[in-house]
Amino acid sequence: MRQLLSFVRKEFYHIFRDKTTMLILLGIPVIQMILFGFALSTEVKDTQIVVLAPSHDEASERIIERLNGSAYFNVAGRISSNREIEDAFRSGKAKLVVVFEDRFGERLRHDGKAHIQLIADATDPNAATTFTFYATNIINNYQQDLMGAQQNPYIITPEVKMLFNPQMIGAYNFVPGVLGMIIILICAMMTSIAIVKEKEKGTMEVLLVSPMKPIYSILSKLTPYFVLSCVNFGSIILLSVFMLKVPITGSFSSLVFISLLYIFVSLALGMLISTLANTQLAAMLISGMGLMMPVMLLSGMIFPVENMPMWLQVISHIVPARWYIEAVKAIMIEGLGFMAVWKDVCILAFMAFVLVIISIKQYKVRLE
Amino acid sequence: MDKNQNITDIAVSCSNVSKSYKDVRALNKVSMEVPRGQIFGIIGPDGSGKTSLFRILTTLILADEGAAAVDGFDVVADYREIRKRVGYMPGRFSLYQDLTVEENLNFFATVFNTSIKENYDLVKDIYQQIEPFKNRRAGKLSGGMKQKLALSCALIHRPSVLFLDEPTTGVDPVSRKEFWGMLKKLQKENITIIVSTPYMDEAGLCDKIGLIQDGEFLTTDTPRGIIGKYPNKLIAVESNDMHQLLIDLRANELSKDCFAFGDRHHVSIDHALTTDSAATKDIIREIKSFLLNKGHKNLIVEEIEPGIEDCFMQLSQK
């Protein structure tokens, strides 16, 4: 026991004395939360639009007014010909151009049918879809009001309700994602690098020629990163609740429980990587390729897994972050309890078990 | 069975140990036996297989063939037992550079389930020299101090066998001398010491040495025994033009071998030509006049006793 304590103390010395690394480890979650929270927001708010309305009639002006009056759009200017549309995008003046056809109001009144063209900058397809979705909604609203005035007997009104996140706040989506990524990176990447560092610096050679049990040296490597991850978990939760106003609607204890389990899975993964790599660079590459990419792309953190091709969906099953993020979303956002995430818990527990078994089997008691 | 029964009078032994890395044969059927309490020197150039042998004996790597035992324990089957009782100082400085001197020593003491206090008398002489710097990070120590710290850490659990892989490489001559003084003291504590070095001049300080080259022991004996077995007569030659001198000496048919040794050249003369001292004197005279004819000035030619390095050169020529 004294052996273990002394070893753990040594590991904390390593971390505390490497100020830059420690700062990065504790700073990353805070910076990511702030970045995602404010800078990289995917919410539509005051998007600049440009309008082409040659007829200047009442109907088109009403619609423009509504667009401008909504929280989503700002009419940044008007253009008078089709040729200027491209310029509006090129100059960055507009993300969306709303084009009313000639004699818009007249056609609407006489033919009962008129066209509006929505041209969006689709370099960011997700954003373009969102812009057109909001614009279409506003136009539809106007149409319904118009119909209401004419007493049209047949009206089908789809009423969309955004459940759990009625205001479509992006933070609801990324807080679980950031949690999933930060924890796995710090646990797996940092522990694997820490273990491999001993090999690279030659200290492993001395450690091996000692009565120290391998399980002790592994345990003591894991402890500091376990603590660090708990601190990070705490800071992410605090930031998300108090800064981003994302409430924890579900059971807090379930959230903590599954997070601890996920931390454990990540630590086990780090152990496994350390048995595969012999240099810090290799450990970095393996965890970079093997963790960062899948976690970012296949966990549902940024892109929804359901929309991916089948084979990617299959691969995503072995990404622990996928299950964790799913569970955190269920607990934090949907407000569900432990019963809703038992499947994710089982999968993560199984992963932990398999990883620990493999890495203990793989652990080298000798140099080669 | 009582553990102590395993402790024999042979501290380290290995027989026919071979080790290959891919297509390089690092060790080829190496055998040796080191009685308890001896200083055994493994002496050979870089890449001769010293480190591989150390790693096999300290259970860090597995030999391809052959068997080895430390304190009577097999290096493969009983590796845990061996790891408890040996001290190992690798060739590269392998302590934690970001921990202080004291923290390093403390850490290794607890790793071996002991404390600095318990074995302080053993490391006292060595540790006292670095104790003034005990709050300094190990990475900021000078080469000699690092080496003393590494030795203290390897000794803190009072090992029965101490493995020192090139402990004096890159250390200044004064510290080297000091270091060997410390080893002699440790020997009195009944600690068996296996030490490797590329410096032939350190060979004489060992009880027994093994000269190793290309993964094979050329010979293992006491330093005196090895020198005694040197078959040839040896003369040292010096002149104003050492470069030309080497060329001329090698051209002379009387010289069997000729090597540059610091500020002199060592020329070996076949023992068949030097059956008695009169014959040796004749040959020295002959070589002298040969070199004078070649135009060498300030010439010194004299018979000398061979050193370990001369023996190594002679043995490695075979």
- The pLDDT tens digits for A215-232 are 788 888 889 999 999 999
Q: Last residue of some domain: B179, B195, B224?
A: B224
Q: Rounded to whole angstroms, how far apart are CA atoms A136 and B229?
A: 102
pLDDT band for A294, please (50, 70, 90 cuts): confident
Among B95, B103, B113, beta carbon nearest to A211: B113
Give the pair of three-digit tokens for residue B268: 């070996």
Q: Which two tokens stand for residue B109?
A: 């003491």
User: pLDDT tier at B158 (50, 70, 90 boundaries)?
Assistant: very high
Claim to verify: residue B175 and residue B289 sit in the same structural domain: no
Same domain, residue pair B197 and B287: no
Q: How would residue B1 be classed by pLDDT, with cut points 50, 70 and 90?
A: very low
B112 in the same domain as B71: yes
Q: Under a CB-based contact definition with an 8 Å cutoff, are residues B88 and A210 in contact?
A: no
Decide which of B206, B224, B242 is a domain's last residue.
Answer: B224
What pLDDT is stored for residue A336 in this prediction? 86
B234 and B171 co-located in one domain: no
Q: How confident is the model at residue B277 (pLDDT cuts 50, 70, 90)?
A: confident
For residue A203, list chain B residues with Cβ-Cβ distance below 8 A. 94-96
d(CA A175, CA A221): 28
Q: Check CB contact under 8 Å for B62 and A368.
A: yes
User: Residue B220 carries which side chain, given as an amino acid letter?
Assistant: T
Whether residue B5 is predicted with pLDDT greater than 50 in this model: the reply is: no
Q: Which of B224, B257, B282 is the last residue of a domain?
A: B224
- The tokens for B75 are 């290096």
- How many angstroms away from the CA of B8 is the closest CA of chain A? 21
pLDDT (tens digit, 9 = 90+) per residue, A180-200? Answer: 988 888 888 888 998 899 989
Residue (of B210, B206, B262, B273) closest to B238 by Cα position: B262
pLDDT one-digit tens code per residue, B75-101? 999 999 999 999 999 988 889 999 999
Average confidence (pLDDT) over A65-91: 88
Please judge whether B61 and A7 are an interchain contact, meaning their C-beta atoms are less than 8 angstroms apart: no
Of the ranges A76-80, A142-146, A155-159, A346-350, which is most confident?
A: A346-350
Give residue B292's domain range: 230-317
Structural domain spans, chain A = 2-40+169-362, 47-150
Is it the case that residue B26 has pLDDT exceeding 90? Answer: yes
pLDDT for res A124: 81
Residue B115 forms contact with A (CB below 8 Å): no
Residues of A in contact with B114 (CB under 8 A): none
Closest A-chain CA to B110: A3
Q: Quick one: closest CA in B to A201, which residue?
A: B94
Tokens for A117?
């063209």
Among the ranges given (A262-266, A360-364, B231-235, B239-243), the one the predictor scored with the smallest mean pLDDT: A360-364
Please give the pLDDT value at position A43.
Answer: 66
User: Does residue B235 share a domain with residue B206?
Assistant: no
Same domain, B168 and B235: no
Query: What's the rounded mean pLDDT across residues A125-138?
Result: 85
Report, as an integer, the average pLDDT of B270-290.
Answer: 86
Q: Helix or strand or coil: residue A335?
A: coil
Q: Are residues B93 and B135 in contact, defined by beta-carbon separation less than 8 angstroms? A: no
State which residue of chain A sits closest to B104, comparing Cα positions.
A10
User: According to the model, what pLDDT value does residue A150 have?
Assistant: 65
* A205:B90 CB<8 A: yes
Confidence of residue A209 (pLDDT cuts 50, 70, 90): very high
**Do A366 and B59 count as a contact with CB atoms less than 8 A apart?**
yes
Kindly report which listed range (A94-98, A144-148, A208-212) carries the lowest average pLDDT score: A144-148
Which residues of B fall within a CB distance of 8 Å from A207? 111
- Looking up tokens 């609801």 gives A172
Q: Please, which pLDDT band fits residue B173 given cuts at 50, 70 and 90?
A: confident
CB contact under 8 A, A3 and B59: no
For A234-246, b/e burial (b = at least 16 CB within 10 A) is: ebbbebbeeebeb
pLDDT at A55 over 50: yes
Number of domains in chain B: 2
Q: Do B111 and A212 touch (CB under 8 A)?
A: yes
Q: Which residue has the higher pLDDT, B291 or A168?
A: B291
pLDDT in the model for residue A278: 87
Residue A340 pLDDT: 87
Neighbours of A317 (CB within 10 A): 11
CB atoms within 10 A of CB B209: 30
The mean predicted confidence, pLDDT, of chain A is 86
CATH of the domain at B264: 3.30.70
Percent of chain B with pLDDT over 90: 61
Do B75 and B191 sit in the same domain of this protein?
Answer: yes
DSSP-derived 3-state class of residue B194: strand
What part of A 209-238 touches B (C-beta under 8 Å)? 209-212
pLDDT at A263 over 90: yes
Min Cα separation B132/chain A (Å): 21
B169 & B253 share domain:
no
Identify the pLDDT of residue B192: 96
A47-150 topology per CATH: abc type-2 transporter like fold (3.40.1710)
Domain match, B57 and B111 both:
yes
Q: A19 CB near a chain B CB, below 8 Å?
A: no
A207 touches chain B (CB under 8 A): yes
Chain B's closest residue to A15, CA to CA, is B98
Structure confidence at residue B109 (pLDDT): 94
Q: What is the interface pTM, i.e. ipTM, of the complex?
A: 0.84
CA distance A356 to chain B (A): 23
Question: How many Å apart are CA A35 and CA B37, to the nearest integer?
Answer: 66
**Using the beta-carbon criterion (under 8 Å), do B153 and A206 form an inter-chain contact?**
yes
Which residues of B are less than 8 Å from A20 in CB distance? none
Does A209 contact B112 at a Cβ distance shorter than 8 Å?
A: no
The reply to whether B239 and B128 lie within a common domain is no
Interface size A-B, in CB pairs within 8 Å, comes to: 76
Q: List, in order, residues 6 or more apart from A149 with CB less than 8 Å away.
A: none
* pLDDT of amino acid B2: 41
Per residue in A6-27, pLDDT (tens digit) is 999 999 999 999 999 889 889 9
pLDDT at position B4:
47
Q: Is the pLDDT confidence value at A83 over 70?
A: yes
Nearest CA in chain A to B153: A206
State what percent of residues in chain B have pLDDT above 70: 97
Q: How confident is the model at residue B43 (pLDDT cuts 50, 70, 90)?
A: very high
Q: What is the pLDDT of residue B227?
A: 92
Query: Same structural domain for residues B244 and B175?
Result: no
Please list every residue in chain A whose beta carbon sits closer than 8 Å to the beta carbon of residue B90: 202, 205-206
- On the question of pLDDT at B3 being above 60, the answer is no
Strands of A47-52's sheet in order across = A73-78, A47-52, A96-100, A116-120
* 62-81 of B, contacting A, C-beta below 8 A: 62, 79-80
CB-based contact A13 B99, cutoff 8 Å: yes
Q: Do B83 and A366 touch (CB under 8 A)?
A: no
Which stretch of B51-65, B74-88, B269-283 has the lowest confidence by average pLDDT? B269-283
Q: Which CATH number fits the domain that encloses residue B97?
A: 3.40.50.300
Residue in A with minimal Cα distance to B100: A13
Mean pLDDT of B203-211: 93
Q: Say if residue A305's pLDDT is above 50.
A: yes
> Residue A284 above 70 pLDDT?
yes
CA distance B318 to B313: 9
- Give the number of other CB atoms < 10 A from CB of residue A54: 16
* CA nearest neighbour of B143 among B108, B121, B173, B116: B173
Q: Are residues B45 and B172 in the same domain?
A: yes
CA B227 to chain centre: 16
Residue A251 phi/psi, 5-degree rounding, is: -80, 120
